[in-house]
Chains A and B, each alone.
Chain A
Amino acid sequence: MAGVPDSELVARLVQGDEEAFGRLVAEHGPAARRLARLVLRDANDADDAVQDGLLAAWRSIARFDPRRPFRPWLMRIVLNAARDLRRRRTVRQTQALGGDETSREAPPDRQAGRALLRARLAEALATLPERARVAVTLFDAEGYSHGEIAELLDVPEGTVRSDVFHARRNLRVLLAPFLEEVG
């Protein structure tokens, strides 16, 4: 079922098709999880929020306008779910963003390097306000336009541009040693 458009998967989801749901999760889940982690800064809480968001999206799928793109609609629901979960829970700081998640197949030295980079990235992101974290990730990692992010976050487009600019500048300073290797 590879390459099936979202509109068709959504139509099948309305009928309760679990396989279509799985395809949508596979396609949009990673972006949703990144977004939730930017808000909650805890991997487990973020996945719980994504689960809440995905199930909420399925429950209200009949209200989705199929003429519009699916991902921004889903991301808004996930973002609200993450913010709602943050309000309900005390954010656990003990497990930093992605701190203990490393590739099982990577060799030890590379594994350590990845873990270190991940930890530094988590620290750098933690210095940013939530809105800036979300904005820079959606823009640079997910390919959203400023306008789409503004609509998602319910802020003016100029605010998004400013957030992305400041977030990038801070990340580049804090991650400078790693960026030299990556870039």
Chain B
Amino acid sequence: MKDFDSSDHRPDPVIGRLLREHLVPDDKDAFVVRMQAAARQEGLSRGAPPRRRGFFALELPEAWFRPGIAAAAALLVGVLLGARVTDGGSGSVWLAEALRPAGAPAELFAVDARPDPQLFLAPLLEAQ
């Protein structure tokens, strides 16, 4: 045993370690939980800390944020597309051109021109 003078002005490391290790059991976490529960019971704790309040204030919208943005973008595209289709102007021409199958007569898909019945009947007449 290391000789330690009882009148030493420094802390006694051996006595100190004994006291620290053997006076309190290893239930630190449980004790913290008990104290927090007691504080809640006493009404000292003003609810949950801000991080928990964020569930309603921040986390919930955050969970909805991406789907919301996607839905809004889809809606915007739909509105713009609808506006171009009903526009009847250059937008309609653009749409008709895009939807036209390759090799199909352009007259069939012309928006401004009235369809000519001859164009539809021509293959039948030729077959006969």
Residues of chain A at the chain B interface (Cβ within 8 Å)? 12, 15-22, 25-26, 29-30, 33-34, 37-38, 43, 47, 51, 54-55, 58-59, 97-98, 101-103, 114, 117-118, 121, 136-137, 139-141, 143, 146, 165, 168-169, 171-172, 175, 178-180, 182-183
Q: Is B98 in the interface zone, CB < 8 Å from A?
A: no
| Chain B residues bordering chain A, tally (CB within 8 A) | 39
Interface segment, one of B12-20, B103-111, B112-120: B12-20
The residue on A at minimum CB distance from B45 is: A18
Q: How far is the CB of A104 from chain B (nearest CB, A)?
A: 8
Q: Cβ of A34 and Cβ of B31 under 8 Å apart?
A: no
- Interchain CB contact (< 8 A) of B15 among A19, A54, A97, A172: A172
Consensus secondary structure, chain A interface: helix
Q: Cβ of B36 and Cβ of A140 under 8 Å apart?
A: no
The residue on B at minimum CB distance from A59 is: B44
Q: Is B100 in the interface zone, CB < 8 Å from A?
A: no
Q: Cβ of A98 and Cβ of B23 under 8 Å apart?
A: yes
Q: Cβ of A143 and Cβ of B11 under 8 Å apart?
A: yes
Q: How far is the CB of A132 from chain B (nearest CB, A)?
A: 12
A58-B44, A179-B14 given; 11 more Cβ-contact pairs under 8 Å: A18-B36, A19-B49, A21-B35, A26-B28, A29-B32, A30-B24, A59-B44, A121-B23, A137-B19, A140-B11, A141-B19
Q: Cβ of B22 and Cβ of A37 under 8 Å apart?
A: no
- Interchain CB contact (< 8 A) of A34 among B7, B24, B32: B24
List chain B residues, Cβ under 8 A from A22: 32, 35-36
Q: How far is the CB of B7 from chain A (nearest CB, A)?
A: 5
- Interchain CB contact (< 8 A) of A15 among B1, B20, B23, B46: B46
CB-defined A-B contacts under 8 Å, sample of 8: A16-B46, A19-B51, A21-B44, A51-B35, A51-B38, A54-B39, A139-B11, A182-B18
Q: Roughly how many angstroms separate A178 CA and B23 CA in the complex, as a whole number?
A: 15
Q: Roughly how many angstroms separate A34 CA and B21 CA in the complex, as a whole number?
A: 10
List chain B residues, Cβ under 8 A from A102: 25
Q: Roughly how many angstroms separate A34 CA and B9 CA in the complex, as a whole number?
A: 22
- Interchain CB contact (< 8 A) of B45 among A16, A26, A29, A98: A16
